[in-house]
Structure 1
Amino acid sequence: MSAIKVLLVDDEAPARNRLRELLQDIAAVTVVGDAKNGKEAVNLAMEHKPDIVLLDIRMPHMDGIEAAGHLQKLTPSPAIIFTTAYDTYAVRAFDMNAVDYLLKPIRLERLRTAIEKAGRLRPEQLTGLQPLQAQRTHFSVLERGRVLLVPVDDIIFFRAELKYVTIRTREREYLIEDSLNSIEEEFGTRFLRLHRNCLVAQGSIMGYEKRHAQEGESHYVALLRDVPDTVAVSRRQQHLLKGLAKG
């Protein structure tokens, strides 16, 4: 039997050390790395391909629930065991979606049971996970067998094209399968729907101008910071830009 590869994720070093010590007493388990936040966890998981991730829920920068959603896109995806000091809403909300959850302080026999359970399950336990916080901090992009994390703060606009949505940052474009409607619902007015196929970061809008087509018709476009792209503005949404200009 090959060793079960485990990745430890917790923002507190004593908690990671405690898990490492406990796992030494469980046969056929190898710790392949540890991370202090969700973003580090995704990067290490791509590198080490763990069978199981012991994942704290409450962490800065990217919480465990969001990280679990990104980990789901890996092939194969690891089993998730949440670790938490909270036995209230977080546990009740997520215990049906993860392989298991462990309440801190974690006991050896409880950890052993969770590891054994994880070995019998996978990889569908992540289905239906929703972020613990209201909005994601990153979008995960599957590209050439790797998961890339794109910070929401870097996104200038989303544009729907056929069955995909293009993310535009200052550096490049990415393709995702989220719908514009779901993104708009998640982020509210942080991204403005200037056209039926485009959501633009409010902070990236520099201004707007009126352009004339050869046929004589005119339309407005939004001018954006840091990129040469412009975004067409539908007639019914022109009031949004004019409102920003007045503000």
Structure 2
Amino acid sequence: MTLRVLIVDDEPLARARLRVLLGDCREPAALPTGEADSAAQALALAQHQPFDVALVDIHMPGADGLQLAAALRDVPHPPLVVFVTAHAEHAVQAFEVEAVDYLTKPVRRERLQAALQKVERLAQLQPAREADSAPDWLVIAERGRTVRVPLAEVLYLKAELKYITVRTAEASHLLDGSLSQLEDKYPERFLRIHRNALVARHAIRALVRHHDAEEGEGWAVRLAGVDEVLMVSRRQVAAVREALGE
């Protein structure tokens, strides 16, 4: 068995050292298949890619490793967590979030290998998850905390710069992720209306003529729960009409 590893540390040198150590591990073998320098980036990766284990630093900007470990329980394929940190004082808290092991820096290969052996044993005991299972919420790390936003409350998802705006009737959140991956994962829940936007099918109320400062005359959708309208690309107008039953 080759373990798929997510390395989470805000220090590039620390991530590089773990990559080298993992390359020296043989029983079991371990392959770094993802890296993140923050809890938000790690959550975005884990939402869309399966990992067997996450090697997580505790002290990071924004949400810390303990908050990340708790949030990782809610991703589609929760990885087991091994903390790798320079600080020994968080060991009790680490095991409260069900960490498999707690390694202090500088990490020795023998100690990392022992932790991976624990992961391998536990992974073999865990029941297999459905390949296409998807949670009914989005896990978002923001402003030093982790929130769980139910998909039933999401009205639209809009790509803006490197983030996705997740809009509910009550609030807006920023998610680090891919709009296309969310579209593929929840095709029954969200409809693509533009290259930069998905809308909740249940929230679509009307297709209206609209003038946009950037795109000119065109079509837009009105959604329940928000006052703004969202532009619809010409190629998606037919899909919106179909969703409205026209």
Tell me the TM-score range normalised by the shorter chain.
Answer: 0.5 to 0.7
- Check the 8 A contact 1:83/1:104 in 2, yes or no: yes
In the alignment, the residues of structure 2 paired with residue 77 and residue 12 of structure 1 have an alpha-carbon distance, to the nearest angstrom, of 24
SS in structure 2 opposite 1:50? coil
- Check the 8 A contact 2:166/2:173 in 1, yes or no: no
- 2:12 maps to which residue? 13
- 1:26 maps to which residue? 25
If asked which structure has higher relative contact order (CA below 8 Å, sep 6+), I would say: 2
- Check the 8 A contact 1:73/1:142 in 2, yes or no: no
Instruction: Choose from 164, 171, 183 the match for 1:169.
Output: 171
User: Is the alpha carbon distance of 1:26 and 1:65 closer, same or farther for their aligned partners in structure 2, counting shifts above 3 Å?
Assistant: same
User: Is the alpha carbon distance of 1:136 and 1:11 closer, same or farther for their aligned partners in structure 2, counting shifts above 3 Å?
Assistant: closer
- Check the 8 A contact 2:46/2:77 in 1, yes or no: no
Which digits, 9 at most, give the CA deviation of each residue in 1:176-229, with x for residues without a partner?
xxxxxxxxxxxxxxxxxxxxxxxxxxxxxxxxxxxxxxxxxxxxxxxxxxx76x
User: Is the alpha carbon distance of 1:78 and 1:171 closer, same or farther for their aligned partners in structure 2, counting shifts above 3 Å?
Assistant: closer
- Kindly report the root-mean-square deviation, in angstroms, between the aligned alpha carbons of the 2 structures: 3.2
**Is 1:62 aligned with 2:70?**
no
- 1:107 maps to which residue? 108
Q: What is the letter of the counterpart of residue 140 of structure 1? A: R
In the alignment, the residues of structure 1 paired with residue 166 and residue 76 of structure 2 have an alpha-carbon distance, to the nearest angstrom, of 26
In the alignment, the residues of structure 2 paired with residue 111 and residue 119 of structure 1 have an alpha-carbon distance, to the nearest angstrom, of 12
Q: What is the letter of the counterpart of residue 169 of structure 1? A: A
1:171 deviates by 7.9
SS in structure 2 opposite 1:121? helix
- Check the 8 A contact 1:57/1:83 in 2, yes or no: yes
Q: What is the letter of the counterpart of residue 92 of structure 1? A: V
SS in structure 1 opposite 2:24? coil
- Check the 8 A contact 1:9/1:34 in 2, yes or no: yes
User: Is the alpha carbon distance of 1:18 and 1:24 closer, same or farther for their aligned partners in structure 2, counting shifts above 3 Å?
Assistant: same
In the alignment, the residues of structure 2 paired with residue 46 and residue 117 of structure 1 have an alpha-carbon distance, to the nearest angstrom, of 24
Which digits, 9 at most, give the CA deviation of each residue in 1:87-116, with x for residues without a partner?
12x112223521111101111000000011
In the alignment, the residues of structure 2 paired with residue 171 and residue 59 of structure 1 have an alpha-carbon distance, to the nearest angstrom, of 20
- 1:80 maps to which residue? 81
Larger radius of gyration, structure 1 or 2?
1
Q: What is the letter of the counterpart of residue 122 of structure 2? A: L
In the alignment, the residues of structure 2 paired with residue 137 and residue 155 of structure 1 have an alpha-carbon distance, to the nearest angstrom, of 16
In the alignment, the residues of structure 2 paired with residue 98 and residue 61 of structure 1 have an alpha-carbon distance, to the nearest angstrom, of 20
1:142 deviates by 5.5
After TM superposition, the score normalised by the length of structure 2 is 0.52
In the alignment, the residues of structure 1 paired with residue 169 and residue 66 of structure 2 have an alpha-carbon distance, to the nearest angstrom, of 22
After TM superposition, the score normalised by the length of structure 1 is 0.52
- Check the 8 A contact 1:49/1:78 in 2, yes or no: yes
1:140 deviates by 2.5
Instruction: Give unmatched runs, 5+ long, in structure 1.
Output: 125-134, 149-153, 157-165, 173-226, 229-247
In the alignment, the residues of structure 2 paired with residue 93 and residue 171 of structure 1 have an alpha-carbon distance, to the nearest angstrom, of 28
In the alignment, the residues of structure 1 paired with residue 169 and residue 4 of structure 2 have an alpha-carbon distance, to the nearest angstrom, of 34
Q: What is the letter of the counterpart of residue 94 of structure 1? A: A
Instruction: Give unmatched runs, 5+ long, in structure 2.
Output: 128-142, 158-164, 175-225, 228-246
Q: How does 1:40-55 map to 2 (within 5 A)?
A: 40-55=41-56
How many percent identity over aligned positions?
37
In the alignment, the residues of structure 2 paired with residue 167 and residue 14 of structure 1 have an alpha-carbon distance, to the nearest angstrom, of 42
1:136 deviates by 5.3
- Check the 8 A contact 1:20/1:31 in 2, yes or no: yes
- 1:94 maps to which residue? 94
Which digits, 9 at most, give the CA deviation of each residue in 1:126-179, with x for residues without a partner?
xxxxxxxxx9523123549xxx9xxxxx999xxxxxxxxx8721489xxxxxxx
Q: What is the letter of the counterpart of residue 59 of structure 1? A: M
- 1:141 maps to which residue? 149
